[in-house]
Amino acid sequence: SATEAAAPPTPAGGAGGETGVTKNYNRGYKETDMTQWCAAELMAHVLTPIQVKLPDAEGSCRIRAPTHLAGEALMAGVRGKWDHNFDFSFTLPWEAKIGRPRVQTVEVKGKKQKMFKGIPTFKGFIRFPDVTSLTDPTDYDVELIWGGDGPKKTEEVPTGRALSLLKALLGDRDNGFQAVLLRRLEAFAERYRAIQDPRAALAALDAPLTPTPTAPMATDAGAEGGAPAVNPPAPPPVVEAGAVDAGTGGGEGEGEGEEPIIED
């Protein structure tokens, strides 16, 4: 359910012990806990907000920062050869405003007045339950959850044109938000596997991590034209070995003014 998706993360238990510490064993075998590095990379390069304006001024849809991020990462090496292991899960809230502003005529003290009721707003979550080094990112399971974490009776349900747009933006692995996230996860896995000196990589966390601008995201439902601005990355979280808590987020008015993210 949506409530479960937004629940605080459960520590997975760091296989490598204290984060960032390299343990030496017999026959040259070493282990280094890389949870902190992977969490910082995910927050800075994968889980940054995305926003798209729909064609013909029909509205907009955006994915916010994660409400849930948990997992662990470990590099294991023998005689200079490293295996790069990771296992994470995360949940991203989405929100869409689709349609024209609604106006209702009401009678107040015998006079008719127009009352603005706002644009139809829909909410939900995208969940990646098993982001692991054992599976190619193109094969990751993706769960699309309809409905936010508010009272069900007050939430709007998409139908017709709004439902079609949201399915194209949120439910299509080859286009829209899922495609962007899967490409980002592929790039994350490549950067992680390129590490040959885990201690140097962990030491570099003190340096700021900034996304690299590429081309605007394209979707079947249409994307905003021009070159949108790039959000600054979220600061790397402080991580217990085996778990990351990205906060609860999703409050009223949170994220207003977020710009679209440039994506390939």
Q: Which residues contact 242 (CB under 8 A, 6 or more apart)?
A: 11, 12, 13, 14, 15, 35, 70, 71, 72
Eight-state DSSP code of residue 231: P
CA 22 to chain centre: 29
Note the pLDDT of residue 47.
95
Q: Residue 263 is encoded by which pair of tokens?
A: 């994506």
Q: Residue 173 is encoded by which pair of tokens?
A: 């692995």
Q: 114 pairs with which residues across the strands?
A: 105
CB 118, CB 153: distance < 8 Å:
no
Note the pLDDT of residue 99.
83
- Is residue 36 predicted with pLDDT exceeding 50? yes
- Is residue 134 predicted with pLDDT exceeding 80? yes
Q: Which residues contact 132 (CB under 8 A, 6 or more apart)?
A: 86, 87, 88
Note the pLDDT of residue 150.
60
Question: pLDDT per residue over 40-65, tens digit each?
Answer: 999 999 999 999 888 777 889 999 99
CB 244, CB 11: distance < 8 Å:
no
Q: Residue 216 is encoded by which pair of tokens?
A: 């605007």
* Dihedral sign from CA coordinates of 164, 165, 170, 172: positive
Note the pLDDT of residue 153.
57
Note the pLDDT of residue 142.
95
Note the pLDDT of residue 57.
73
Note the pLDDT of residue 207.
59
User: pTM for the full model?
Assistant: 0.67
Question: pLDDT per residue over 153-211, tens digit each?
Answer: 566 778 888 888 898 889 889 888 999 999 999 999 999 999 999 999 998 887 554 54
